Amino acid sequence: MQMQEEREAIIEHCKKLITHGLTVGTGGNISVFNTEYQLMAISPSGMDYFTTKPEDIVLTDLDGKVVEGDRKPSTEVDMHRIYYNMRKDVRAVVHCHSMYSTVLASLRMNLPAVNNYIAIAGGYDIRCAEYGTGGTWTLAENSFRAMEGRYACFLANHGLLTCAADLPSAFMIAEEVERMAEAYYHAKLLGEPVVLDNSEVDVILNKNKNYGQVTQK
């Protein structure tokens, strides 16, 4: 069985979608791209994450053709593979239906820079993609345009999509975006949140390049 490590990581993070409150039931989907095999491992369609086994994870090529696995892949396979085809900086994609991100997506609102963590998604805001029916190439393309220069976007009337160079990072971005969306929602109830200037976000973006335990060589 190919890509055992990626399969296990997907199952682990799919469970975390539930336990961390980012989705319910079998909602959402996760994928990881292996550059050596040029294959995408993606969660199966409509399966309970807590009973999913490594062999249930589906491997496809970048055309979306199943190359290993007996399960049907997530219906959003196109919304994952478009990133691996078009963005060399992306190796993992997380899609979830977290509450406050979905609230903003239902209003087709962008999330402005009202929190200094906005830079974690790569830019000055988090955009809401134009609407596309779930499981269609239109949705994949709309998300891709909204994600330009970013690592997160809202899907109109749907939910949240994030991506990164690895799965832990893509999942962390999803959690942080949901936290910011919740803070924005509550702040709007009390008044008009103050939006950070682009120049301040630029400073934070630059600082983020050296965030964490950077090894000196």
Active site residue 76: yes
Nearest alpha carbon to residue 195 among 111, 128, 100: 111
- DSSP 3-state assignment of 152? strand
Question: What are the angstrom distances between the C-alpha of 140 and each of 3, 71, 134, 173?
Answer: 25, 22, 9, 19
Say how far apart CA 160 and CA 163 lie, in whole Å: 10
Catalytic, out of 6, 76, 175, 178: 76
Strand order in the sheet with 66-68: 66-68, 58-60, 39-42, 29-34, 92-96, 159-164, 152-155, 128-129
- What are the catalytic residues? 76
